[in-house]
Amino acid sequence: MKQAFLLLSNKCSSPITTLYQQLKQATKALGDLFLLYHQTTAVLPEALNGINTSCFSDNLLTDLHYIPISHKLIPGNNHFPLLDFYRKNPVYDFYWFIEDDVRFNGPWQDLFNYFTLQPEPPDFISSHLRTFKEEPSWYWWDTLFHFNTRIPHNLRIRSFNPLYRISYAALSCIDFILSVDKWRGHHEVLLPTILSLEGYQIADFGGTGQFVPQGQQNKFYLDDDPDQSGSINTGTMRYRPFINRLEYAGKLYHPVKD
Amino acid sequence: MLPENDWLAFSFFSPQQEWPRFLDVLDGFLNSGAIKPLMAMRIIKFSQLYGSNIRLFVQATAGQSPLLLAELQAFFANNFPLQIIPGRHGQTPAGNREMLMIRVLLSDLMIKAFCTEPVNDETLLTVALYLQFALLKDKKAAKTILSSFAGTAIFIDDRFLCASQLEEEYIANCEFLHEIKSHLEGNQFAVLPSWLPPWLAGYEMILRSIPEHRLPAFCRSTLYSVIKQLGLSVSLVTRLEYYIKKSAQAETVKN
C-alpha cells in the first residue's frame, strides 16, 4: 500500500518543523511525507530547505476549475490543495491530510499503522461523522450545492476534517464531481456525503456515533454525543476552544496551541 | 496508481424529445449478437449539465475494450454523428459492487420506461415515485429511510417552488400516490408498469445481501442513485421528498 502523508501549513516555524520531523520518523516505513505549504510570498522561506515541500498558492481557487464556496481557502475550500496534490501525484493508494494544529499524544506510527494494516480499509476516515438529523443546525449543510439538482438533507453527512485519510478512488470520484459535475460545498459536508452516497465506505477514527466501526468507540479521540448545533466544543478533536494540555495518551487533539 | 477502469464513456446531446428514439436504437444495438459478448454492463444517466444529454458508461468484458470501443464509435458515427462526444474517463460509475448493480438495474429500468414514453417532468416524477415507494416495501429499509426524515423539515428553495403550490400539488396527487402504494404493497404486478417488476426482483435480491450494519448507507445511496441517474431537477427532488414524507405521515396518522 503506497501512502502520501500531507502536512498542511502556511508556516515554517519551529513547532511545524518539529511536527514535520516527528511525522517523518513515523512515516518512513509507510510512505512519503510532504509539507503541503501554502505559499503567500514570492520567495520560499529558508527554513523549508531540507523539507520535502509541495507548494500551492491562492491561485488554486481558480486553477483547478472547481467552484469554491468563498474567495479564500479557509473556510471550506482547503480540500483544494489535497486534490491539486492528488492530480499532480496520482500514484498513491491513500492520502493522509494533516492540519498543522493537530497533535497525537503518542507515537504517530501507532495511529498510521492501525489504519494501514486494516484488511478492508475505508475510503474515507475522519472524525465526528454525523447525519443531518443528528446535527440539523450545523452551519455548513447548505453549502453542498448544485445549480440544477440537489441532495435531500436527510441524505447528508458531515465530518470534522483537521485530519483525514482518503483513498485514490475516493479522490478520483470527488475530482470528477467537482470538475465535471460542478458540485460545490464545504469539504466537511461534501466529502462524507458524496463519498457515502456514491458507495464508498466512510468511517470515524473513534469518538462516538453510528459511523464508528465496532470496537473503535473513542479509540483515537474522545467525543461527546451529537448535539443539535454541531459546533463541536468538547472532546479532544474539536473546533474550539484551543487545547493547551494533551491529557490522554494515544488520542488525537485539535486545535493545539503551541 | 491507476484504477482498474475498463469503462467507456459517451455523452449523447440532444433535446429530450429525441431521447426515447436514442434509447430504443441504443438498446437494440447493445443487445445485438455482435455486441452482447463484448459488453459486461451498461449504465445510463440523464443530465442537463452543459445541455440536455444522456451519459452512457459501458464496461467491456475482459480484453474486449478496444473492439467494443470501435464498434460503439462506428455505431454512433452511423446513427448520431453530430450528437455524441466521448465522456471523461477516470471514474468508474460506483464505489462498491452493490451500488454498481443498483445502477445497472436502474439503467435497464430507464431504458425500458423511456424508450416508448416521452421524457419530461411528469414522467420522470412518476418513475421516481414508483421507485421511492418500491424502496419502502421492505420493512427494514422503510424504517431506515423514514426515520431519517422524521423530525426534519424539508428544505424548499422558493426560487423553484413555493410551499403552497407544493401542498396543492400533493393534494391533487394524493389518490395517485395511494394507488401506487397499494399496488406495490399488494404485489399487483398486473397493474404495475411493466418496467417495475424486474427492478423489484433485482433490488430485493441485492437488499437481502446487505448486512444490517450497512443498510442505512445502502438505502441512502439507492435514494441518491434514483435522483442522480434520472437527473432530477431541484423542483422534482423537492416534490419527491415532499410527497414521500407527506404520504408517510398520512400513513402514520391512519395507523
Tell me, what's the pLDDT at A99? 97
**A234 domain residue, yes or no:** yes
Tell me, what's the pLDDT at A203? 97
| Average confidence (pLDDT) over A211-220 | 94
**A239 domain residue, yes or no:** yes
Band of residue A109 on the pLDDT scale cut at 50, 70, 90? very high
User: Which residue in chain B is spatially nearest to A172 when comparing CA positions?
Assistant: B91
Please state, in angstroms and rounded to a whole number, the distance separating the CA atoms of residues A163 and A156.
20
Q: A92–B1: do the CB atoms touch at under 8 Å?
A: yes
Q: B95–A150: do the CB atoms touch at under 8 Å?
A: no
For residue A144, the Cα-to-chain-centroid distance in whole angstroms is 17
Q: A197–B220: do the CB atoms touch at under 8 Å?
A: yes
Tell me, what's the pLDDT at A254? 95
pLDDT tens-digit series, residues A146-165 = 999 999 999 999 999 999 99
Tell me, what's the pLDDT at B250? 73
Tell me, what's the pLDDT at B162? 81
Q: A176–B88: do the CB atoms touch at under 8 Å?
A: yes
Please state, in angstroms and rounded to a whole number, the distance separating the CA atoms of residues B45 and B37.
23
The whole-model pTM stands at: 0.94
Task: Using a CB–CB cutoff of 8 Å, tell me whether A138 touches chain B.
Answer: no
| Average confidence (pLDDT) over A82-102 | 97
- Helix H, strand E, coil C: the string for chain B is CCCCCCEEEEEEECCHHHHHHHHHHHHHHHCCCCCHHHEEEEEEEEECCCCCEEEEEEEECCCCHHHHHHHHHHHHHHHCCCCEEECCCCCCCCCCHHHHHHHHHHHHHHHHHHCCCCCCHHHHHHHHHHHHHHHCCCHHHHHHHHHHHCCCCCCCCCCCCCHHHHHHHHHHHHHHHHHHHHHHHCCCCCCCCCCHHHHHHHHHHHHHCCCHHHHHHHHHHHHHHHHHHHCCCHHHHHHHHHHHHHHHHHHHHHC
Tell me, what's the pLDDT at B251? 67
Relative orientation angle of helices B19-30 and B97-114, to the nearest 10 degrees? 120
Q: What is the mean pLDDT of chain B?
A: 88
Residues of chain B with pLDDT under 70: 1-5, 88-93, 150-154, 157-160, 251-255
Q: Which of residues 194-213 of A touch B (CB under 8 A)?
A: 195-202, 210
Task: Using a CB–CB cutoff of 8 Å, tell me whether A123 touches chain B.
Answer: yes
Please state, in angstroms and rounded to a whole number, the distance separating the CA atoms of residues B61 and A219.
43
**A158 domain residue, yes or no:** yes
**Residue whose C-alpha cell is 468508474:** B92
pLDDT above 90 for A47 = no
Q: How many angstroms separate the first and last alpha carbons of chain A?
A: 33
Task: Using a CB–CB cutoff of 8 Å, tell me whether A1 touches chain B.
Answer: no
pLDDT above 90 for A229 = no
Relative orientation angle of helices A187-197 and B215-230, to the nearest 10 degrees? 90
Question: Phi and psi for A121 in degrees, rounded to 5?
Answer: -65, 135
Tell me, what's the pLDDT at B252? 59
How far does A232 lie from chain B, in Å, by closest CA?
A: 21
Please state, in angstroms and rounded to a whole number, the distance separating the CA atoms of residues B213 and B201.
22
Q: In this structure, which amino acid lies at residue A122?
A: P
The chain B residues in contact with chain A (CB within 8 A) are 1-3, 48-49, 88, 90-92, 94-96, 98-100, 147-152, 154-155, 157, 213, 216-217, 220-221, 223-224, 227-228, 231-234, 237-238, 241
Write the CATH number for A105.
3.90.550.10
Q: B157–A150: do the CB atoms touch at under 8 Å?
A: yes
User: Of B152, B155, B238, which has the smallest distance from its Cβ to A133's Cβ?
Assistant: B152
Mutation choice for A interface testing from B1, B104, B226, B234 by most A CBs within 10 A: B1
User: Of A155, A168, A180, which has the smallest distance from its Cβ to B1's Cβ?
Assistant: A168
CB pairs A-B closer than 8 Å:
98
**A101 domain residue, yes or no:** yes
CATH architecture of B7-86: 2-Layer Sandwich (3.30)
Share of chain A above pLDDT 70, in %: 100
Domain ranges of chain B: 7-86, 97-254
Q: A182–B216: do the CB atoms touch at under 8 Å?
A: no
Tell me, what's the pLDDT at B197? 94
Cα-based distances in Å from B250 to A154, A245, B138 = 19, 53, 18
Tell me, what's the pLDDT at A63? 95
Grid cell locating A253 = 487533539
Tell me, what's the pLDDT at A142? 95
Identify which has the larger pLDDT, B186 or A54: A54
Domain containing A194 equals 3-253
Instruction: Provide the number of structural domains found in chain A.
Output: 1
Please state, in angstroms and rounded to a whole number, the distance separating the CA atoms of residues A100 and A236.
15
Q: A169–B95: do the CB atoms touch at under 8 Å?
A: yes
CA B97, A124, A191, B10: dihedral to nearest 10 degrees? -30
Q: What is the mean pLDDT of chain A?
A: 94
Contacts of B241 in chain A (CB under 8 A): 152, 154
Is the CB of residue B52 less than 8 Å from the CB of residue B233? no
Tell me, what's the pLDDT at B17? 94
Mutation choice for B interface testing from A154, A157, A211 by most B CBs within 10 A: A154
**A85 domain residue, yes or no:** yes
Q: B88–A180: do the CB atoms touch at under 8 Å?
A: yes
**A258 domain residue, yes or no:** no
Relative orientation angle of helices B97-114 and B196-208, to the nearest 10 degrees? 170
Please state, in angstroms and rounded to a whole number, the distance separating the CA atoms of residues B44 and B79.
18
Q: Per-residue b/e over B184-206, b at no fewer than 16 CB within 10 Å?
A: beeeeeeebbebbeebbebbeeb
User: Which residue in chain A is spatially nearest to B239 when comparing CA positions?
Assistant: A152
Contacts of A214 in chain B (CB under 8 A): 213
Report the complex ipTM.
Answer: 0.91
Residue B108 CB contacts under 8 Å (≥ 6 apart), including other chains: B198, B199
CA dihedral for A196, A150, A63, A78, sign (positive or negative)? negative
User: Which residue in chain B is spatially nearest to A130 when comparing CA positions?
Assistant: B148
How far does B214 lie from chain A, in Å, by closest CA?
A: 10
Tell me, what's the pLDDT at B254? 57
Tell me, what's the pLDDT at B3? 43
